[in-house]
Amino acid sequence: MSPEYFNYIKEQFHEKLQKTQGQQGTPAKLSTDEYISLIKQFCLQFEKVFIVLDALDECVDRSGFFRGLLRLSEDSPTINLFLTSRYEVELERVINPVASHRLALKEHMRSDIRMYLYAQTTTRVRQGSLKLRQENLVANIIAALEAKADGM
């Protein structure tokens, strides 16, 4: 991939931004379709492209964003999407048509979360940054945090 191509894509991006620039210095904003078009154009230079998108459940403009993801996955066979999210019914409905593999990590993460919490609490007790009057409180703290972590 030549530096000229990166410059070309950058110029395309800035050109599209200038076209959308509002009056009186209003910040320019590209539409989802314009972003998707730029991404597809950029990806044409590669045999395989992997796009990783984390925390889809935190996406604000879901309808436009997911419409763009669907376009990317349907129109471009060289583009592979790796999507992560907490489970939500709405996301499940939207992602299912394009998902080829699924992996639920929540249950697999419980032991990792427990080990992390144990290491953190015992280290903090040892260092004196966490002071407990009763020794069994460590187990209570770990249990409460683990329950609230919800697979994070």
On whether both 19 and 77 belong to a single domain, the answer is: yes
End-to-end CA distance of the chain: 37
* Mean predicted confidence (pLDDT) in 10-20: 80
For the full predicted model, state whether its pTM sits above 0.75: no
| CA-derived radius of gyration, the chain | 23
Range of the domain at 143: 106-149
* Mean predicted confidence (pLDDT) in 107-116: 81
Per-residue HEC secondary structure of 64-99 comes to HHHHHHHHHHHHCCCEEEEECCCCCHHHHHHHCCCC
Residue 100 lies in a domain: no
Other CB atoms within 10 Å distance of the CB of residue 72: 20
On whether both 119 and 78 belong to a single domain, the answer is: no
On whether both 91 and 27 belong to a single domain, the answer is: yes
In this structure, what is the dihedral angle of CA atoms 25, 40, 48, 63, given to the nearest 10 degrees? 80
- d(C-alpha 37, C-alpha 150), whole Å: 36
- How does pLDDT run across 43-99, given as a tens digit for each residue? 888 899 999 989 888 888 787 888 888 888 888 888 888 888 888 888 888 788 778
Mean pLDDT, the chain, as a whole number? 82
Q: Report the number of distinct structural domains present in the chain.
A: 2
Number of H helices, E strands in the chain: 6, 2
On whether both 91 and 121 belong to a single domain, the answer is: no
